[in-house]
Structure 1
């Protein structure tokens, strides 16, 4: 009988001591967010960061009043050891801590004052957030009989448990960072091979812009087809802007000077190249020159001046050659004299002035990209 009484007394004592211990244990409130070595961006879906963030936000939501009231701070520890110097590692750790805090401020509705931040140039590439959530208060009956020394012992045990949990999380984060670092050369090699494959399979017209040159001689083949030699030069100021100038000259007579075709023109132009490949363009051109036409009984001789809006497209033929298709629409003003030829002598027959609205220039121009 005395043994039963002793066993029952011991059972009650254990109940009074152990039950409060379990009642006062804290929940796991340590959260680890991993970062890519030498990078400061907070990739939420990477390495289970999304799960950790969701759990942390739920914990913040449950304890938001205490957090905003200042009685429940969030301890943020940033770690970095993948850079060359301690100063760089501390700076990177601070940036990473701020990235995580920004997520909590925006998505959790808390403030900067709610955090206690420390940064470390050691251990790995991660950020640890620790929230010391108080355990539910034991009832008055459960707390009776606990001495001050016993309470201090329990508090020390809880602190030790938290320390071990933090170290365990840090160790897991360090192993994950080491694995990511070991896998990085393989991933980088795969990315380089993908880029090389993309460059190889790209067609020449797709892979090369029409604007890698600075100076390019030009020849308008339409002018040459009408026995009017035409040469020019384009200066590509930048991939998007160019200045071109073309000049034409010809002088022909036949039927004992009864027929005449003579002309000289200079046409400068400013161009704005469009799109990613910089092949199409818009621009403005100016034209000035003199002419002498006598294709019938009456000839015309005088000056011309005008300009207009240009548009065109360069078709790449090879690395050095392109065809430039262009047309200009605008106005030409001409002052000229009419004349007849009598006995080999030109006789003036009148003077006229005319304005022409419409196409003022056209070309199929061979472009040689010199350099």
Structure 2
């Protein structure tokens, strides 16, 4: 009995130790859980100006392409790693029209996308995400902010921070010639870029504290681009952006002086390269009453090339002083109850002009123009006699003096940005 009493505590102690070991192993196994962590790697390709294809000889593009292809290939070959997305963000530098740069930026992204898609066709379509930023003014501002040696740095930052359209910002920045030359030499090439960021999920077995243990399938972090950033899924039609119709910068106008003289007229003016515009004008009136011998007939037009004298050309508002040259042609028949004057063959002429365009509303201007030149034609004079129009004489007309006068209401439409 005594021996039995001494052995029972030993057996109980051993059992307790074994039970503690089993609980310890179970706790250790429960603590070994699958944790999914995210990793990402970014690469940047640079582009020549006005180019949307990757030049492997430009900067370090050849090495960067090798890194992208090697990195994607390694991720696809490792077990426990899943590629979540490949985000391709394309941009252009603010040197040229904003609408053109947006198309160029989209074409750069599409080019890189199609190249990588052809190499890794096994990746699901949903993994590929494209964003075309066009002119990247955020990155442009960061460049200015980070370079204390940038000439006119404060002035350029003030322009970037305005709410002007992109083309107007660029025009104002280019007025600082030394500062813009510095930008072109040191920074603008950095904005002609496509960045490729690969986001992947890595499945690990790791010990975690029981209080903070995560169940299988829980992600520790989210894709930073998934919140607050608008991303565009790739359009497989590479020409979709090119097919989008964009109005060129132009204006429709009417000469109020002719309107007041009961001569309907219309004009179109097209704007080019910040300082040049070409205007096409036409008028037509065909009023008559035989009973009173009133004839008010005129039709013709002119073509004018203008040069705008402002510091930044015609500017966003298409306003300011301008000089020009013009050629004109026309025919007329005027009679107000007595002697009539008619040019039934086409007369022609031309001259030089000066004017000023004044903004009066967001898309409306008043344009004041006066032209001096020469007009040549054959003018016939006639009289109404016994119900007939009797020719009196024909004389050559070589008028030298004012041949053009405008107070035009101008409506600006088309792409002003």
TM-score tier after normalising by the smaller chain length: 0.3 to 0.5
Higher relative contact order (CA 8 A, sep 6+): 2
Structure number, greater radius of gyration: 1
Q: Please give the TM-score of this superposition, normalised by the length of structure 2.
A: 0.39
Larger fraction in helix: 1
